Amino acid sequence: MDTMVGSFKFSAFVLSLTLALVWSVKADQNPDSVKSNVRNQIAELADYACRTILNPEGESRCDYNIALGKWLPYEPAWHTGQVINGLIDAFRLTGDSTYLDYAKKAGDWWCGLKIQGNPRLDGLVKAVHGDFVGDYIIFSTISDGTPGLFKLFRVTGDSEYAQIPTDAGRWMLRNMYIPADGMFYDAVSVKTGEVMKHWSPFWPGKKNQKLDDVARPNNEGSLFLDMYRFTNDERYRRVFLEICNSLVDKEGKEGLWMQFTPNNIADSSFHPRFNLWYAESLINGYELTKNLRYLEAARKTLKTYQKAQQKDGTIYYKNYLDGRFEKGSIAGSAVAFAGILWMRIDKESNSHEFHENIERSYEWISHNFFSYDHPDTNLRGGVIDIAIRSKAGKVWITQRDLGTIFALRFLVDYYRYRFE
């Protein structure tokens, strides 16, 4: 799963960037006007996802380096899966077949990653992480890249979109599951087919690595739940719930899983999305079983993100358990993803506990995007998700596709939350 962390503060850059954004007045609260605005925003973001984020082959371009003016790959199977997920949601709401056509193109690209002719990896997909992680297949790159594919199957009836992720899940269950600990190993070497049980590419300089360094619950994407629904095989339901139970048992008092990367227990910082994926899977587990332990564990996570959201709706990339945060990078994707889960848990609880945060997320997404007449067409209309870091002695200022993708999902859910 994505582990990029913004580590620099560039106030002058952020100020100049702000001047290039659309900062409009507070949205008109007239219901008909808001309804129309949300529909328009969905169309605009879906179009950006189709025309700008996806390349002609259907692969996500991933990260746009503003300084270089270039798109750079970063965990492309995961990013492409996220695009599919958002486009299918938009298609289901609007009925616009353009979004389905682009989702199918992206789904075909994803399915083309299936490994064949390699006895050790046969059935797996070549979902390499790239960037600093290198040429390793990462469990969560696959698992959280698959929800859109199962949605694509349900919309089109083409079983390949579900069968290939299911085959990959079967491989990972056979080779990477640690039942006694309720976890999966993180990484597989593409070159050797070896499951990395004693050394993780996430910690290249760490000599003595323990189980929590090389394995995680890895319930992102709720892959085994989707596999169960596709196959009706009770094994997969059982595994999914075993991992949900593992998450409840391993959750800290703050509602996070600080022992696992990309959280950093050493400096008490937590990733803007990682814990939300686990919370999402727990809400899925609650919907399946009505087990209140899952719902309450997810609520603990979402209350921590409630505290991390600023009054203007912003969630920064790097936050700390004591309430501190770093302003160098802005995670629009976290603003949207937290909003999606706040809506879901309020619905499941029949409450308005997170209503104010949901509205903050909507206002933030509505106002924080690159202007439609921005001179760089790669940025034009994209929702802000800025990550700043250092690489090879250079400052990398990156606009990530994730802000737009998660905002698209949020707006579809928000439309239903407000108007259906």
pLDDT at 31: 85
The secondary structure element, H or E, covering residue 399 is strand 394-400
- At 259, give phi and psi (nearest 5°): -75, -10
Tokens read off for 311? 């009054």
* pLDDT band, residue 393 (cuts 50/70/90): confident
Q: Read off the pLDDT of residues 84-137 as tens digits, 9 standing for 90 and up.
A: 999 999 999 999 999 999 999 999 999 999 999 899 999 999 999 978 777 899
Element (H, E) at 56: none
Choose among 242, 236, 239, 243: nearest CA to 257.
Answer: 243
Residue 84 and residue 152 in contact, taking contact as beta carbons nearer than 8 Å = yes
Q: In whole angstroms, what is the distance from residue 220 CA to residue 229 CA? A: 16
Q: Please state, rounded to an integer, the average pLDDT across all residues of the chain.
A: 92
In this prediction, residues 396-403 reach a mean pLDDT of: 95
Which pLDDT score, from 0 to 100, does residue 319 have?
97
Long-range contacts of 369-375, Cβ-Cβ distance < 8 Å, separation of 24 or more: 369/21, 369/22, 370/20, 370/21, 370/22, 370/399, 371/20, 371/21, 371/22, 372/22, 374/20
Strand order in 177-178's β-sheet? Answer: 177-178, 183-185, 215-216
pLDDT for 134: 79
Instruction: Give residue-wise pLDDT tens across range 327-371.
Output: 989 999 999 999 999 999 999 999 999 999 999 999 999 999 999
What b/e readout covers 117-152, taking b as 16+ CB neighbours within 10 angstroms? Answer: eeeebebbbebbbbbebeebbbbbbbbbbbbbbbbb
For residue 111, report the phi and psi dihedrals to the nearest 5 degrees.
-65, -25
Strands (E), 10-91: 63-65, 70-72
Averaged pLDDT for residues 265-280: 97
3-state secondary structure of 329: strand
Look at the chain and count its residues.
Answer: 420
Look at residue 24 and tell me whether its pLDDT is greater than 50.
no
Contacts of 403 (CB under 8 A, 6+ apart): 331, 332, 333, 336, 382, 383, 384, 385
User: Where are the extended beta strands (E) located within 5-92?
Assistant: 63-65, 70-72
Percent of the chain with pLDDT over 70: 93
Task: Name the pLDDT band for 157 (thresholds 50, 70, 90).
Answer: very high
User: What is the distance between the alpha carbons of residues 45 and 94, in angstroms, rounded to a whole number?
Assistant: 13
CB 151 within 8 A of CB 162: no
Q: Could you read off the pLDDT of 224-244 as tens digits, one per residue? A: 999 999 999 999 999 999 999
What backbone torsions phi and psi does residue 325 show, to the nearest 5 degrees? Answer: -155, 160
Model confidence pLDDT, tens digit, residues 294-309: 999 999 999 999 999 9
Please say whether the beta carbons of 217 and 247 come within 8 A: yes
10 Å CB burial of residue 303 (0-12, 13-18, 19+) is middle
Arithmetic mean of pLDDT, 389-416: 94
Quick one: pLDDT at residue 92? 98
- Dmax over CA atoms of the chain, in Å, equals 60
Which pTM was predicted? 0.93
